[in-house]
Amino acid sequence: MCIIGSSGSGKTTLLDAMSGRLGRAGTFLGEVYVNGRALRREQFQDCFSYVLQSDTLLSSLTVRETLRYTALLAIRRGNPGFFQKKRQGLSLLPQLVSNSWPQAFLPPRPSKVLGLQAW
């Protein structure tokens, strides 16, 4: 997924709404579909998450390792079936990264991952 916009255009607010970080605050209008299936608002937190740019990242980890561990930490503990699906998705990450992303985006050992929210 790619979200691009100028500063103040609402990228973070959109991500906060989709990931459930806003809780019940505010009124949301519209529909959200994942793989052609409509989601209820309660399901957002199970399906969406993102890493804040200000998160502390370990310089000893590769980008691939950072994405894997961050995703594992974002998984909700109350849904074992969903956890299994996330693990299956994570198992595809190395293949997706090596086949789809230009190497310019994946330095061998970066100290930070910046701009992911704006890709």
The tens digit of pLDDT for each residue in 66-100 reads 877 777 766 655 555 555 555 555 565 565 555 54
Residue 27 has pLDDT above 70, yes or no: yes
The pLDDT, as a whole number, for residue 14 is 81
Q: How far apart are CA 58 and CA 7, in angstroms?
A: 27
For residue 78, what is the enclosing H or E element? none
> 31 CB contacts (<8 Å, ≥6 apart)?
38
In the chain, the DSSP E strands lie at 33-34, 37-38
The pLDDT, as a whole number, for residue 119 is 35
Angle between helices 63-74 and 80-100 (to 10 degrees): 160
